[in-house]
Amino acid sequence: MTDQMLFTPYTLGSLTLANRVVLAPLTRNRAGKGFVPSEFAATYYSQRASAGLLIAEATQISQQGQGYQDTPGIYTQAQIAGWREVTDAVHAKGSRIFLQLWHVGRVSHVALQENGAAPVAPSALRPATKVFVNNSFEDVSEPRALDVSELPGIVNDFRQAAANAIAAGFDGVEIHGANGYLLDQFIKDGANIRTDAYGGSIENRARLLLEVTAAVVSEIGAGRTGLRISPVSPANGVSSSAPQAQFDYIVDQLNTLDIAYLHVVEGATAGPRDVAPFDFAGLRQRFNNTYIANNGYDLDLATSQLLEDKADLIAFGRPFIANPDLVERLKSAVPLAALNPATLYGGGAEGYIDYPTFAEANAQ
C-alpha cells in the first residue's frame, strides 16, 4: 500500500532498516558527571528503537566543542563506556543507531570552556543567540577567531570521535554541519569573513567541512558516515548570500567521498519550511546516496515526499519526545501526545523516560 511507504524496510549501505522513520538528534541536557550519557539514556533510546534508524543527540568531540551544560561527550573512556550501554540496548531491540558528532564553535559560554577561555569561531563575530548554561539561558560569550594552525587539531578531534563512537558500538556517525555550529559557521559567509584558505570563496568556506568528512571516512569508512546540513536555516545567527551555489558545490564534493547519507534540515530549524528560496528537490537529486529529510514532517508530508522521490528517509524530532511509540502511532493514525516544555532540557527521568505509549496511556 503506497500510503504505508514510510513503514517499509530500507537498505542504508550495508544496514537494513526496519522502516524509513528516523529519530532525529535531540539535545536533552541530561549527561552526568564527566559528561557521560545519563543513567536513563539507554532506556530513553531503547524506548524509541522502533524507528528504523536512531541518531543519538549531538555529542561534543572535545571540551572546546561544548556549548550547553550537561551535554554528553565522546572523547573519554568513561563516555565511550556510557554510550556502549545505549548502543547495546538499541541493538537488543533490533534497531540501528548513529552518533551525531558536534563542535559548537562560537555558540558557547566561557563557563563551559577550559580555564574560562573564549569560544572559538571562524571569525570573531558574536551571534545574537543564547545557550543553556548555569541552569538558565544566557547570551553566548565573545568568541575568538581560530588560527589556521589550530584547524588540523579540530579535524583530528572529529576523526578520533568517530573512532570512539565505533568503539562504543554505534553503527556509524553523523557529522553535525548544520544549525549555526562550527562547520556551518565556516560555510556561511555571514559568520565567516576570513581571508585565508578557509574564507572568501565557496570552495574555501567548505574546506573545513570537507576535510572533517574525509578524515572521518578514512577512519571508519564512507558507509558509516553521514552528514547533517541546514542550507537556509538562520539558526544561531548564521546566513549565506548564495546558499544554492554553496551547497550544490558541497554535495558534488561529498559524492566523491561516497558518504552513506545526507541529513537535510529543510527551511529554518524547528521553524518555517519556506524561510528562504532553495531547491531541496534538486539537492536530493544531485546527491548520489541516501537523503534524509527533516523539519516539520507529519505523516501526510512524509508519505507524499517519499512517493514523489523527494526523500529516502524521514527524520522526526520533537514528536518522538512525548511519543516513544511514534512509529506505531503514525502507522495506526492515533493522536500524538504533547511534550511538556518544562522538562525538555535538563533534569532526570521526568519528561525523559516517563512518557507512556498510546497503549499504556489508554490502559490507565
| Residues paired with residue 138 on neighbouring β-strands, in sequence order | 131
Q: Which amino acid is at 217?
A: V
Residues 72-102: b if buried by 16+ CB within 10 A, e if exposed: bbbbeeebbebbbbbbebbbebebbbbbbbb
Q: Residue 144 phi/psi, 5° resolution? A: -120, 155
Annotation says 181 is catalytic: yes
Within 10 Å of residue 265's Cβ, how many Cβ atoms?
A: 27
Give CA–CA dist 359/58, Å, rounded.
30
Q: Residue 190 phi/psi, 5° resolution? A: -75, -15
Q: Which amino acid is at 323?
A: N
Q: What is the DSSP string of 257-291?
A: HT-SEEEEE-SSTTS-TTSS---HHHHHHHSSSEE
Q: Please name the residue that has the C-alpha cell 543553556.
A: 132
For the chain, the first-to-last Cα distance in angstroms comes to 33
Alpha-carbon distances, residue 319 vs 4, 295, 324, 355 (angstroms): 19, 11, 9, 12
DSSP E strand stretches across the chain: 10-12, 15-17, 21-23, 53-60, 96-102, 120-121, 130-133, 136-139, 144-145, 172-177, 225-229, 261-265, 290-294, 313-316
Q: Which amino acid is at 329?
A: R
Q: Which of 181, 198, 291, 297 is catalytic?
A: 181
Q: Which amino acid is at 177?
A: G
Residue 218: strand, helix, or coil: helix
| Three cell numbers written together for 60 | 561534543
Catalogue the active-site residues: 181
